[in-house]
Amino acid sequence: MINLLGGDIDRFIPKEVRRPATQENSSIETICGATDDRVAANNPRIGRIMPAGCTGWLIDGGRLLTAGHCTGRTMQTVEFNVPASLANGVTVSPPVRDQYRVIARSVVKQNAGVGNDWAIFRGTAEL
């Protein structure tokens, strides 16, 4: 194998990653902080967009609202009454009666960064 970075590869590795794990720096950090105090929502107007895994909200006129970056081929189905995922993170789908295909031609979106990342669309049934 050829080393394209030269002999001093450590200069590319941040110091906090290089040092060995100790009691003070070995705790796992998550986006939830040290304690995961999230609470499951049970709002019938909240759905999961699959296979992207994004959240969609049912708004007026039977339309749904989500983030613009969630659109495209990763936005095929909206699921409501979604059961909890398995312990290993695998998603569980609700019954077919709670799944609706996204009408691709109905999507109106903006994906232009923070504060300008939205999409509105319709599903296959009157929601």
Tens-place pLDDT, residues 55-100 = 999 998 889 999 999 998 888 999 999 999 998 889 999 999 999 9
- The pLDDT value given to residue 15: 62
In 23-44, which positions are buried (b, 16+ CB within 10 angstroms) versus exposed (e)? Answer: eeeeeeeeeeeeeeeeeeeeee
Report pLDDT for 80: 95
**What domains lie within the chain, and their CATH numbers?**
39-122 (2.40.10)
Contact 117, 110 (CB under 8 A): yes
Tell me, what amino acid is at 82? V
